Amino acid sequence: MEQGYQKRGYLREPFRLFRLRDVGVEEMEYHYHEFHKAVFFLGGTASYIVEGRSYFLRPGDVVLVGRHLIHKPVIDPTRPYERAVLYLDPDFLDGLGAGEEDLGGCFRLAERRRFALTRPDGEDARVLGRALDGLEGALADRQFGAGLLARSRLVELLVHLNRAQARDRTRAEEVSRADPRIAQVLDHINGNLAADLSVEGLAALAYMSKYHFMRRFRELTGYSVHQYVSEKRLLAAAGLLCRGLSAQEVSLRCGFQDYSTFQRAFKAKYGVTPRQWR
């Protein structure tokens, strides 16, 4: 029996940083997080798949994976896989630069462009490396003001990351691969969750036969069309309920045929009814 996408990890702090080096990493399933993730690739042979696009990494690259984006790394298990991973609570990030700058803008821009990779040039790479080391050192500090120092180092890192992204002129076709027909369908799904998203209609949008489309979609995203659409609708529904919308309105906005169907699907995923969640 097929399983849906996995939600991995929990973030109980505003942010966390890990520096990791593994050998023989087992293949991961497609998954998503309730938080933002920035992966600073430091060494090894790896690629990253984010929403159907594969990115071929080299040391110094940064992969920006926003909340709820479905992704997985593809790693050569014979080589050491080295990276630093920064997890960020989206609400904390939005408040961190409030009134000054949008420090979370790099994640929003990456999602808007449908391009998750930033490849800093020589100077930007050096500045980001120093900022990453500074944050890691501050997080290990236990002296007076350690928390304040760590937040200031985080702000510094995010400022440089946003600057590096703005200056990056890397072309998508040079560092990544995606089927433009499937990419168009993914954009359509995520922008039109209330619409009729039948397999037949989406296959027609991609100018593909139904069965070829279904095979190609699974090949590039890891799951069936129905699973992907259902997952995105439920993730959107949970967010709208948190904003105070009624369960009935959310059901309509997220494309469910009737409220009872929405209620059953929501409870199966989250363990509570939409009204209890709200």
CA dihedral (85, 87, 182, 169) in degrees, to 10, reads -60
Tell whether the model's pLDDT for residue 1 goes beyond 50: no
Q: How many CB atoms are located within 10 Å of the residue 91 CB? A: 11
**Domain residue ranges of the chain, discontinuous segments joined by +:** 6-176, 179-277
Asked if the 6-176 domain carries CATH number 2.60.120.280, the reply is yes
Asked if the domains at 6-176 and 179-277 fall in one CATH topology, the answer is no
Summarize pLDDT for 51-88 with one digit per residue, the tens: 999 999 999 999 999 999 999 999 998 999 999 999 99
Closest CA to 76 of 51, 53, 60, 57: 57
Amino acid 6: pLDDT: 52
Class of domain 179-277: mainly alpha
pTM above 0.75?
Answer: yes
| Beta strand spans in 103-259 (E) | 117-118, 176-177
In angstroms, the CA 105 to CA 95 distance is 12
